[in-house]
Structure formats: structure tokens, C-alpha cells
Amino acid sequence: MTASGPPPKPVHVLLFDPGSEQEGIHSLELGGRTVVLLFEDPDDAERYAGLLEAQDFPMPCVEALDREELERFCAQAGYEARFVPAGFLPRSEEDRLLIAPPERNMDLSGWKEEPAAAVLPGDDEPAEALPDPELEAFRRRLEGLL
């Protein structure tokens, strides 16, 4: 007889065109790393999706998936899986990007025709259009001094 614990809790990710050949997962470029957000609370994921849409981003679908499978997928793809717990409060500029998208996003005008750097897994294009988050945070601090 084997003891089985409670079933694993799913995490919530933002997917574009789920189930299609163009399916993509939302990701961020943070300090040269591609980060996929794994939201514990589906309401947090829905809010983030709404903020993306408000920035004229294609509206992603919130999907509940197994955390271990997503972490394995991210590791194999060279991505960093970042868990965002319910009630998360940011402590840095980088942390803020876990609850609200950056002010500037990649140009996604052709994302359905060819992979877009910040959206589809397996893309090897550099994210040159996005500023370095550390540089951007430093610029904001300097502007605040003026």
C-alpha cells in the first residue's frame, strides 16, 4: 500500500492561441533570462492578462497546468520558471514585473507568422527591443531625483 499525498496544485500561465500550431506562452526578458510566470492564484493571472491587453498585447488565455511539468518544460527550453504566490508583494523593480507587465513590450505584429521573442517557446532571437530592466530601474531612480 502506497501513501499518496494531496494532488499537486496547478499553477496558472498565460497562453496565446492554446491548442493551435501557433500556441505560445507569455514570458519576460529579465536581465538576459527568459522568465515564465507561474501564478498560484488564477485571479492574479487574469489581472496580468488584462494588463497585457490594455497595452494592446494579444489577449492571452489563463490555463491551469501542473507546476512540475511546467518547470520541467522551462528547464528543457532554457527558461526560468518563476512562481508568483498568491498575495505576492514586490520588493524590487524586477519583482514588480511579476505582478504587472513592463511598460514597453516586444513588437508582436508578426507573431503568428514567425516566432516572437517574448512569446513563443524555442525562439532564439535576442530581445533587443526591450531595455535592460536594471538599466531601466536605474534610469527611473535618476529621473526621480530631478
> SS3 string of 50-119?
HHHHHCCCCCCEEEEEEHHHHHHHHHHHCCEEEEECCCCCCCCHHHHCCCCCCCCCCCCCCCCCCCCCCC
pLDDT in the model for residue 10: 93
pLDDT for the residue numbered 69: 93
Residue 44: helix, strand or coil by DSSP? Answer: helix
pTM above 0.75, yes or no: no
Residue 64: per-residue pLDDT: 96
According to the model, what pLDDT value does residue 86 have?
94
CA dihedral of 87, 92, 98, 104, whole degrees rounded to 10: 140
Is 119 contained in some domain?
no
Domain assignment of residue 54, yes or no = yes
Compute the distance between CA of residue 92 and CA of residue 47 in angstroms, rounded to an integer.
20
Count of structural domains, the chain: 1
pLDDT of residue 14: 95
- Coil/strand/helix, residue 14: strand
Chain centroid to CA 136: how far?
18
Range of the domain at 51: 10-102+130-145
Model pLDDT, residue 63: 95
In a domain, 95, yes or no: yes
Q: What is the pLDDT of residues 30-53, one digit of tens each?
A: 888 999 999 999 999 999 999 999
Low-confidence ranges of the chain (pLDDT < 70): 1-6, 103-146
Structural domain contains residue 3: no
- In a domain? residue 109: no
pLDDT at 146: 41
Say if 4 falls within a structural domain: no
In a domain, 73, yes or no: yes
How confident is the model at residue 39, as a pLDDT? 96
